[in-house]
Amino acid sequence: MLKLLSLLFVLLLSGVALAENEPSTARAIALEQDLQSLPWEQFRAVLMAIPKLKASVDVYGALGWQFVRSRYATHNWRKGIDKLDEVQKQQLAELIRKAKSGIQTPSITPPLPASPPE
């Protein structure tokens, strides 16, 4: 009986912890959905601007970016978003908002070199 009560108490406490994290989780879900809804170029520009998210892809090199390009709209970005601090989450939300509203984000690809003189 005592084991059952202690188990119920632990479950109750974990439910309280889950309820406290619910707004953060809801925000992460919303950010993830907004991020996934962007066209590839805008998505990539936003991802490159958030160091932790960029690093999560860079660790796999060129193959990581190929994988992301083919699956970015369905990939679980929430894990990475959950690891961001509040300032980074605000920055991510602002970048997504700008991308959705059509505000030009800085180019992430270097300009092509001028053609050599002939």
Residues 21-63: tens digit of each pLDDT: 455 688 889 999 999 999 999 999 999 999 999 999 999 999 9
What does the pLDDT read at residue 22?
53
**DSSP assignment string, 58-98:** HTTHHHHHHHHHHHTTTS--HHHHHTS-HHHHHHHHHHHHH
Amino acid at 65: W
Phi, psi angle pair for 37, to nearest 5°: -85, -10
Structure confidence at residue 3 as a pLDDT band (50, 70, 90): low
Token pair of 10, please?
Answer: 């632990």
0.85 exceeded by pTM: no
pLDDT higher for 33 or 15? 33
Using an 8 Å Cβ cutoff, are 81 and 28 in contact?
yes
Distance separating alpha carbons of residues 21 and 49, to the nearest angstrom: 26
